[in-house]
Amino acid sequence: MPWTLALLYSDDSLLAVDKPSGMLSIPDRYDPDAPVAASELHAAWGRLFVVHRLDKDTSGVLVYARNPDAHRALSAAFESRSVAKVYRALVRGAPDWDEIRCDLPLRPDGDRLHRTIVDAHKGKGSATAFHLISRYKNYALVEARPETGRTHQVRVHLAALGHPCLCDPLYGDGDPLLLSKLKRRWKGDPYEERPLLGRAALHALSAAFPHPMTGDELRIEAPLAKDMRAAIAQLEKL
């Protein structure tokens, strides 16, 4: 299938795109046949330098450096926590909190499924601030602001709080969100029904950081992905 990466920002130093779900940020030994964002961009933009990653399922803001100097500066910014990242997640269950901070330590590749796990002894310090945006019947829309950058951090912390991302195959039940399960009187063909949402419901909404050359604050935002908007529209009707 043809892939489209919407351009969010570009200059001589960096490039930011809206990565669709189903695309890797960089090549992955676990999924060698999956499309890779940097490869899709190469023909138009030349060599790009990776400064951070999004999970394959996660949509939203993905930033690349365009030269070695910008790469060094952006990498340092991401590593030093001077990048403010905001995510949106659809989760199972309606949290009884409006604001909460999860600081459970995490260890990547901690089990036979190569998942990140909560590990009080060997895990690294991790923290994510969560804000409840909307409650629905048995579901919720949550904003996440990770303060550290551990692998799968937002997904693991949400699962640890008892509210995993919808459709998350690693940290939740992996079940797709179906209209037939939401509407009592749904009359469609169950053999032809397409899920409203079939991937871990996480979207990288924005990233704010100092421009690598000027130092000016730069904020880049990607609109909520179409599948998540469709899911929210149905959940609001419950």
- pLDDT of 206-233, one tens digit each? 999 999 999 999 999 999 999 999 999 9
Please choose, from the candidates 57, 69, 61, 54, the residue with its C-alpha nearest in 3D space to the C-alpha of residue 13.
69
Taking the domains of the chain in order of start, what are their residue ranges?
6-235
- Summarize pLDDT for 166-206 with one digit per residue, the tens: 999 999 999 999 988 888 777 777 778 899 999 999 999 99
- C-alpha distances in angstroms, 209 versus 10, 34, 58, 120? 14, 29, 20, 31
CATH for 6-235, options being 3.30.2350.10, 1.20.1270.10, 3.30.70.260, 1.10.3720.10: 3.30.2350.10
Tokens found for residue 99? 């604001």
Q: Which residues are known catalytic residues?
A: 55
Long-range Cβ pairs for the range 178-186 (8 Å, 24+): 179/234, 182/234, 182/235, 182/237, 182/238
Which residue type occupies 204?
Answer: A
C-alpha to C-alpha distance for 210 and 212, rounded to whole angstroms: 6
- Whole-model pTM over 0.85: yes
